Chain A
Amino acid sequence: MQKIAELIKKEAESLLKENKVTAVWAWQPGEFYYDNSPVCFTAPEQLDKLVYNEFCPSNLGKYLMAGSKKNETMAVFAKPCDTYGINQLIKDHRIKRELITVIGIPCSGMIDIKKIKNQGVKGIISVSVSGDDVIVTTAYGDKNFKKSEVLLAKCMSCKGSDYMIADKELGEKMEVKCQKLNPEDGVKKLEAMTSQERFAFWQQELSKCIRCNACRDICPACSCEQCIFDNQEAAVAGKASANTAEEQMFHIIRAYHVAGRCVGCGECARVCPQGIQLGLLNTKFAKDINEFYGKYQPGADDDSKAPLVDYKFDDVEPTISAKGVR
């Protein structure tokens, strides 16, 4: 990753120096070693701060929206999974393709710092990764981990190392090495439960929601300028309430709104401060769409018709069978 960081810096420098773009989106170090945050560079001398390592999980695509409105030319660095979101934003007319330069950068999986902290590691100073070995330097000495065991959940169901959109690719492609998780497994497990059990599960899960709207704000498919959740009249705009029905409503609406457009990046679940398994809802919609209307991967291209704005004459009927709706 160190080598790629150098390549990124060089690329960003040449783009800015030759005035090909007015802004470059990348990551900069945060307060701690493990909370790198998105940043917009506009001059070559700022680039000392640029960083790329195992703690850059955020997708930069959505940040292009503001600049795209002002017709700014921008470059953005995108990991393979980020390119799905960027495609989706182009398709939704949120960013203009002709204004942006997408530079694909390889990724071998991002590390979930919570998984390390949960094992009682405190006072983290830095983390170095070589191959599968993760060495965490703390104020109390070094700790060793296996990378495959501390990967982010979304990286464990990585969609592969291909870029869906890229004007240029840097470095060699990398693979995520770990025991792969299928996001549909969780959905299948829930589907096998009884209706009562499912309701109890969701009641417990969704009651954790504090309505911070982080899942909405991070989502590359959730990009409306006016949002129902900001409308006080909508009956779902209330902040954390004790009423589960309202929480349920919020989550159905959120997941439904991105149905057929959710690229499955898993960012919503990653940013959720309460650890709600939001992927279970989004994946359910994706699974249903695949099952009823044929396989569809949103974000794989920028011109196909999304399943919910399309139809066939012989689609399945919304009737209730003896086995239930499924």
Chain B
Amino acid sequence: MLESEACENTNYNPLIVAFCCNWCSYAGADGAGTARKSYPANIKIIKVPCSCRVNPLFVLRAFLRGADGVILCGCHPGDCHYTSGNYYTRRRMKLLMSTLSYLGIEDGRMRVEWVSAAEGNKFSETMNSFAETIKSLGENVKLRDLRCKK
């Protein structure tokens, strides 16, 4: 039996951390709520002033402390509340993702998605599909601090 199948059978609930920028994606999550669109309850949203506030270390530490997936949402390039924040995010996260893959961490454990304040639909779709991906990837054992395991 595949590892992923085993997970499905035991009702495996991954822990997912979502960093959402205050101006677009967090409002997008609100929009999803207003529009009665659901997204998985195991996604924990952390509000940040700008996607650029997310130091790559935050992502790494989330993994280290037990997250199975990390998703970073920000304004669409060009729409940043602070003019250029998400352009820096784009470069930073591209390098981080490339390096995680280089170290042998499964592609897809980390994702960057641009969600605007009007895209409640996209927010819920993105979160649902990301939760599915993480569920199929299974538990994050490669980047987990064993001391944090219960």
Contacts and interface: CB of A to CB of B under 8 A. Distances in A.
Nearest to A194: B104
A308 interface: yes
Interface string A239-255: 00001011011001101
A228 B24 CA distance: 31
Given A252-B99, A325-B101, A325-B107, A199 B142 contact: yes
Interface string B134-147: 00000000111111
A196 B91 CA distance: 26
Contact of A315 (B64, B87, B104, B145): B87
Contact of A249 (B64, B94, B102, B112): B64
Contacts of A318: 90, 93-94, 97, 112
A119 interface: no
A289 B95 contact: yes
A35 B62 CA distance: 43
A35 B145 CA distance: 39
Contacts of A198: 102-104
A227 interface: no
Nearest to B84: A311
Contacts, number: 115
B56 interface: yes
Interface in A286-322: 288-289, 292-293, 307-313, 315-320
Interface residues of A, number: 47
Given A200-B104, A235-B145, A285 B78 contact: no
A256 interface: yes
Interface string A181-224: 00000000011000111111111000000000000000000000
B103 A252 contact: yes
B104 A308 contact: no
Nearest to B147: A243
A326 B101 contact: yes
17 contacts: A195-B101, A198-B102, A199-B103, A202-B103, A203-B104, A235-B145, A243-B147, A249-B64, A249-B143, A288-B98, A307-B91, A313-B87, A315-B87, A318-B112, A319-B112, A326-B98, A326-B101
Contact of B104 (A196, A243, A292, A325): A196
Contacts of A324: 101, 107
A259 interface: yes
B101 A309 contact: no
A209 B88 CA distance: 31
Interface in A56-97: none
Contacts of A203: 104
Q: Is the interface of B mostly helix, strand, loop or mixed?
A: helix
A291 to B, nearest CB: 9
B113 to A, nearest CB: 9
B73 to A, nearest CB: 12
A259 B95 contact: yes
Interface string B76-96: 011000001001101111111
Contact of A235 (B64, B100, B103, B146): B64
Interface of A: 190-191, 195-203, 228, 235-236, 243, 245-246, 248-249, 252-253, 255-256, 259, 281, 284-285, 288-289, 292-293, 307-313, 315-320, 324-326
B108 interface: yes
A69 to B, nearest CB: 27
Nearest to B103: A202
B65 interface: yes
Nearest to B108: A320
A248 B103 contact: yes
Nearest to A196: B104
Interface string B106-148: 1110011000000000000000000000000000001111110
A325 B88 contact: no
Given A245-B144, A289-B95, A312-B87, 6 more contacts: A195-B101, A235-B64, A245-B64, A252-B60, A253-B57, A318-B94
B64 A246 contact: yes
Nearest to B106: A195
Contacts of A235: 61, 64-65, 145
B55 to A, nearest CB: 10
Nearest to B101: A325
Contacts of A190: 102
